[in-house]
Amino acid sequence: MANNFSKNKVITVTATTDAEGIAQNKVVATGIEIPNAVQGNAGCALIKSITISDASNTSLVCDVIFSSSSTAISDDQGKAVGEDVADLDDVIADASGWVQFVAGDHTDLIDARLHTKTGIDLMVESAEDSKSIYMHIVNRGSTATFAAVDDVKVKIGLIQ
């Protein structure tokens, strides 16, 4: 049964990536929309938790960057932050913050990995004409190899 009165929300998105090995400090996913993250245009929400499920069973050490801009941080997954991007300054100016996942933030489920961060308390804001925020993921560990472009799913727990 849905709770239509709660200002708590969990939004699940696919962090579309490339089905390949993505080296350390390379972009896993960029410009991923988190629709209706805030209640109204130019609104704010508080990110409380993030869960990343990885069907490729990769121990993903990464930074998850949140922004009000859909502008990509690289031209393609597997490239460095800023590579082939005309003006990374616009993306950085619209950033709300980041959350770091380290090696101990996951459990091995044999066929998959589940990465979780709780108690985050990161305030995010959407653009003036949007209720969406955007997510970028950067690999900070050893090479992560994904079997399919839709192997990485992200659940964002918010208070709106």
Task: Dump pLDDT digits (tens) for 23-56.
Answer: 999 999 999 999 999 999 999 999 999 999 999 8
> Does the pLDDT of residue 127 top 70, yes or no?
yes
103 Cβ contact list (under 8 Å, min separation 6): 59, 61, 141
pLDDT at 82: 87
Q: Is pLDDT of 1 > 60?
A: no
The residue ranges of DSSP E strands in the chain, in sequence order, are 8-14, 21-22, 27-34, 44-54, 62-67, 95-101, 106-108, 113-125, 133-139, 144-145, 152-159
- pLDDT at position 57 is 87
pLDDT number for residue 2: 57
Q: Which domains does the chain have, with CATH numbers?
A: 8-159 (2.60.120)
Residue type for position 89: D
Asked if residues 152 and 141 have their Cβ atoms less than 8 Å apart, the reply is: no
pTM (2 d.p.): 0.92
* pLDDT mean over 10-25: 95
64 pLDDT more than 60: yes
Average pLDDT over residues 105-131: 93
Rounded average pLDDT over 135-157: 95
Residue 106 has pLDDT above 60, yes or no: yes
Average pLDDT, rounded, for the chain = 92
Is there a contact between 130 and 34 (Cβ–Cβ < 8 Å)?
A: no
The whole-number average pLDDT for the span 59-85 is: 91
Average pLDDT over residues 100-117: 90
135 falls in which pLDDT band (50, 70, 90)?
very high
